[in-house]
Amino acid sequence: MKRLSLILILGLFGITSLFAQKNVNYEVLYFKANLSCCQARACDALQKDIESTLQSIFDEESINFKVVKLADEANKDLVETYNAKSQTVVCIKTKRKKTSSVDLSEIVKQYRIHRDKEKLATALKAEIVKMN
């Protein structure tokens, strides 16, 4: 009986610790090249705009924004998988060991041209929510 009680108590602690962990549903990859000074400032500004827009739409537990350096050898597989170039933006959703992705680069390109943050937020949210 004591053994069964101990197993139940340990099981409950295990279950509650699973619920306490942060659950990241989406990962957004922002691919970035080594650029000259002026281009790098523009790229950094674009990166910050995208990241802040995503954080304003989704809570921190559901989205993870990650910068991926194109020149870094450790990122070679990611670059090849998503055929990434500078300022390529991809959202990846993992659910029950299955992953799906959507390329958000066209939305980012339109934002670079028009600089409309409201349109950026609406378009990003629509594409990411479609992944459900």
Note down the domain range covering 77. Answer: 22-130
At residue 24, the pLDDT reads 53
Q: Where are the alpha helices (DSSP H) in 58-75?
A: none
> Can you give the CATH number for the domain in which 58 is found?
3.40.30.10
Q: Is residue 52 part of a domain?
A: yes
Q: Is residue 9 part of a domain?
A: no
Q: What's the average model confidence in pLDDT over 40-61?
A: 90
Token digits for 118?
């409201």
In angstroms, rounded to a whole number, what is the distance separating the alpha carbons of residues 98 and 112? 32
Q: How confident is the model at residue 96 (pLDDT cuts 50, 70, 90)?
A: confident
Q: Is residue 10 part of a domain?
A: no
pTM for the whole structure: 0.78
| pLDDT greater than 50 at residue 65 | yes
At residue 74, the pLDDT reads 96
How many structural domains compose the chain?
1
Q: Is residue 39 part of a domain?
A: yes
